[in-house]
Each structure stands twice: as C-alpha cells, then as structure tokens.
Structure 1
Amino acid sequence: MAHQELIQCPRYISNAWSPFLSKLKMYKEFESVDSLVQLYLEKKPSPKKVSKILSAAPTSERQNECFDHLKRFVKSLDDNTLGVFLQFVTGSNYLTIDSINVDFCKLEGAARRPLAHTCGCVLIIPETYQGYNELSEEFSSVLRHSASWEFGIV
C-alpha cells in the first residue's frame, strides 16, 4: 500500500506531465531558478504598476474625476489589499494582464457599486461618486465582504 501511494501514484502523474513540462525549458523564463524568481518579481503587483495598467476613455469631466479617484485609491492600497483588488478585477492576485479597462455606469443609491468582469479584465465604476472618500469607502467595502465575490450569470 505504501509503495503504491508514495511511488506509483506520483510516478503516474510525473509521466503524464513530463511531455508538457519539458517544453517549458525552451523559454528563457524557465531556464533557471534565478530566471523564475525574476519572473515572479516582475509579476508581483505594486500600486504604481497597477495604476499604470488602468486605462479608460472618459467622455465627461465627471468620468475623468472618478477615474482619477480610482487611480488615487489604487495607489493608496497596501500589498494585501492590492492583491485582493487585482483578484476582484482580473481573477488573479498577480499581474497576469497588460491592461485593465475601466468603463463607467450611472448606478446610484443602494445599487451603486463597482463591478468587474474578470474574463475581459473590465472594471465598471459608477460616475456618480461625489469625491474620493465615497469611492474609497464603497470600493473597500466591496473588497472586504465575501458576498461581493459571488458570480452572477445573467
């Protein structure tokens, strides 16, 4: 029993994955441990990196202000919260994408909240925020509460 669990089962998995993993050696990122560490460091998020990949095409002054508030909010996040923000928007807590597209909506009142579509890395924020504090409070609330992480398919 022990031989089967400790030797045979892992060997089967190793044999199955071997053809795919051997192809990774062709890429420079997988040549050595140092290159893997470098890749990891490049993909590690920072507020500055994340704010640079936010892209939007505001069509009004109000949208422009909300986009500025969003960039300011992202720059104020600590490492843990930044990872949660990225996971909310992209599905990963590392920088696996080149840009996050920001769109705007007109949600108001109790329905006002940021929305994310992780398949296309799209973040939709309401343009009805009056200031940075409102955006910061509501976005922080969404990131803190587990109900925000439920998938809704319409």
Structure 2
Amino acid sequence: MMLKCPEKFTLHSVPRLRPDFSEVEWEAVGRIWVKGLLDLGVLPVRLSSAFIVACIHRIDSVSDYVLISSFQNYLSSTERSAVAKARQGTLEECDEEDLLDLFTRMGSHCIPPKNTMEVAIQTMAHKAILQEPKYIIDCFSKTMIFALLKVPDQDSLLSLYDTKKATGKKVAQLLQTTQEIRSQKEQMVFSHLQRYVRNADQGKAEKFLRFCTGSSVICVDQIKVSFNAESGLCRRPVAHTCGATLDLPYTYSSYPDLRTEFDNILSSDYFEMDIL
C-alpha cells in the first residue's frame, strides 16, 4: 500500500490524508507496519523519525531535538539552509525570501523577530510533522501497542531507526563472497563492487539494497556475492532477492566498466518504486 509524501525529494516525509483512505485503510497500513517491525525488524525510514516516535510513543513524547531534526530533514536544501541561519542568528538578506516563502506555506505571512525565531520554528515544525498528520498518527497508534515489544522506549526506537537506514558504508559492509578462495579477477571485481557501494549516496545505496534484497531498508545480515564468467551481451549482474544473493560476472575490465553497468540498472524506469 502506498503512502504519498508531500514532497518527493525530502529526506524525511510524513504521510498526508487521502480522499480514498478512511480509518479502516490507515489502520490496515499500521498493522502492516507493526507486522514488518516484529517479524523482520523493518522500519519505514523514509518517514520522519518524529512521526514514527509519535505513532508508537505518543506525540507528547517527541523531544524538541528530534522534532527540529526531523523538520530540517523534511525541508528542501534551500529551506534547510535558511532555517539553520535563522536559528543561528546569521540570516542574510538573500535568505529572507526563502524563509518567508516557508513561513507563508506553513500559514504565517511574516518573518518573526529574532527573539521569537526559535519558538516560531518549533511551532512550524510541530504543525508540519505532528499536527497535520494527527489523524493518521491516531489510526496507527491503535496497533502500535504491539510495537512496544520491539522498541519499548524512544531511545531504542531511534537507535533501530538509524541502524535500518541504508548508507553506502553500511551496505558495503553487508557484502560477503560465497567462496573463501577467490581468483585474482574475482577479487578485483569484488573490490570494485565494494568501492561502488561504499561511495554511493543514500538514494543509490537504497536502490542497490533493494536490487539485492527487495527492500530499501536494511533487513539482512549479509549480501552474498557469487561470480560467473558471462561476457558480452550476456554479461549482467543478477540478484536473487529471496536469498539476498548477487551473481556477479568477474569479466569487468575496470571500475568505470562496473560502475556504468550498475548505474544503468539502478536508474532504469522499471526499477522505480514509491512504497515506503
């Protein structure tokens, strides 16, 4: 089931109300979420951490630090920069328009004075992250009592949230070869693969993880890499998501050769999925 995000390119999003979703549908999404958490330890890490805390531990348990951090990740890079400067008291004239646009979108029509700026930003964050999706939070909360078995407090929840989030470095550490003794070519290609994944940004790391495991959230202990001798038009990496296994040709002549092939695969239109 899809959760529509208000802005596709934000790092952390919150679900928004939909005319075709009633209480029954939102509660069903909540049950699916809890089932994934209890059985596989999966969290929807593209959702705001403050929103997730509110669903499991109630809105009043969300700390100011988690709220502001989530709000900054919810914003575009331009808005994030303007808010950061406003909080630091270093707002420049060229940033005021971006900040005013943000406040206007959130329901205000002027930039508050410096002595009330922090409070105004916290109020705006609370509105965007917690108040607007309050109905969804209430629907999710009805089944979240079972999630307390896995994450009994806010610290354990945030720790799990961070652990499950894909980064290039964390995904690269999952890569393991199926054979202990590798040929020189296999070792070279495996090193190229580790380099490619380690240098990936979060978006590409999530796509690579999804290609190999079927999920953009870390839910396996390792990704097994085996090798074959395919070349020419037959050469391509093949992933088996049920077993988190990657069948990789050792016939790549260089790192750019491997990088180009994986970039083409991960950027393919058919690979686009918007399920959080």
TM range (shorter): 0.7 to 0.9
Please state whether the residue corresponding to 2:227 is helix, strand or coil: strand
Number of equivalences? 141
Question: What amino acid is aligned across from residue 125 of structure 1 in structure 2?
Answer: L
Instruction: Return the match for 1:143 from 253, 266, 270.
Output: 266
> Could you state the TM-score of these two structures normalised by the residue count of structure 2?
0.45
Matches within 5 A, 1:33-112: 33-56=154-177, 57=179, 58-112=181-235
Aligned to 1:119: 242
In 2, the alpha carbon distance for the partners of 1:147 and 1:95 equals 22
Q: Percent identity?
A: 34
Structure 1 residues 136 and 35 mapped into 2: Cα distance closer, same or farther (>3 Å)?
same
Please state whether the residue corresponding to 1:102 is helix, strand or coil: strand
More strand by share: 1
Please state whether the residue corresponding to 1:45 is helix, strand or coil: coil
Larger mean CA deviation between 108-117 and 34-43 belongs to 34-43
Give the drift of 1:42: 1.1
Structure 1 residues 59 and 36 mapped into 2: Cα distance closer, same or farther (>3 Å)?
same
Question: What amino acid is aligned across from residue 106 of structure 1 in structure 2?
Answer: A
In 2, the alpha carbon distance for the partners of 1:109 and 1:68 equals 21
Give the drift of 1:123: 0.6
Larger mean CA deviation between 114-123 and 51-60 belongs to 51-60
In 1, the alpha carbon distance for the partners of 2:218 and 2:252 equals 27
> Could you state the TM-score of these two structures normalised by the residue count of structure 1?
0.78
Larger CA Rg, structure 1 vs 2: 2
Give the drift of 1:76: 1.5
Please state whether the residue corresponding to 1:30 is helix, strand or coil: coil
Structure 1 residues 36 and 60 mapped into 2: Cα distance closer, same or farther (>3 Å)?
same
Gapped runs of 5+ residues in structure 1? 150-154
Give the drift of 1:38: 1.5
In 1, the alpha carbon distance for the partners of 2:206 and 2:191 equals 20
Give the drift of 1:6: 6.3
Aligned to 2:254: 131
Give the drift of 1:94: 1.4
Question: What amino acid is aligned across from residue 86 of structure 1 in structure 2?
Answer: L
Gapped runs of 5+ residues in structure 2? 1-20, 35-140
Structure 1 residues 127 and 42 mapped into 2: Cα distance closer, same or farther (>3 Å)?
same
Structure 1 residues 84 and 114 mapped into 2: Cα distance closer, same or farther (>3 Å)?
same
RMSD: 3.0
Structure 1 residues 103 and 148 mapped into 2: Cα distance closer, same or farther (>3 Å)?
farther
